[in-house]
């Protein structure tokens, strides 16, 4: 078998396949509207303040995408653990604003 040097060599091997592949566009799944709780916490974090959003019933991929959007809006760091979004700092009002704009019902819990 000859060594392939570029893409045109591959096209010569399979001329009938050129231009036949069309990827199916994958529509992004809409995040279901949910009842969520925005908590304010310092427990187990060395005295650091975090905002914890609980009550999600979605898959990990959608949750990470929403967490990224929230972190960018608030200009802070954070993570996703155990179906909860943990945002660094007391930015509960900003987080609630983003979630309400997404169509979620957000309840303020504690502090």
Helix, coil or strand: residue 39: strand
Three-state SS at 12: helix
* DSSP track, 46-98: TT--EEEEE---S-HHHHHHHHHHHHHHHT--EEEETTEEEEESS-HHHHHHH
Give the global pTM: 0.68
- Domains of the chain from N-terminus onward: 32-109 (3.30.780.10)
Quick: pLDDT tens for 41-86. 888 788 889 999 998 888 888 899 999 999 999 999 999 999 899 9
Q: d(Cα 111, Cα 109) in Å, to the nearest integer?
A: 7
pLDDT of residue 77: 94
Cα 96 to chain centroid, rounded: 16
Residue 26 pLDDT exceeds 90: no
Spatial neighbors of 18 by CB under 8 A, at least 6 apart, are 11
Specify the pLDDT at position 87. 93
Task: Give the pLDDT mean for 81-97.
Answer: 91
Q: What is the mean pLDDT of residues 84-104?
A: 91
What mean pLDDT, rounded, does the chain reach?
84
């Amino acid at each position: 078998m000859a060594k392939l040097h570029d893409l045109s060599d591959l096209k010569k091997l399979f001329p009938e396949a050129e231009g036949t592949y069309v990827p199916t566009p994958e529509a992004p799944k809409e995040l279901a509207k949910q009842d969520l709780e925005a908590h304010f916490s310092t427990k187990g974090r060395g005295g650091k303040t975090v905002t914890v959003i609980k009550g999600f019933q979605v898959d990990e991929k959608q949750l990470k995408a929403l967490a990224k959007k929230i972190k960018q809006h608030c200009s802070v760091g954070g993570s996703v653990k155990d179906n909860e979004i943990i945002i660094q700092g007391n930015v509960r009002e900003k987080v609630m604003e983003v979630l309400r704009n997404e169509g979620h019902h957000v309840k303020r819990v504690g502090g």
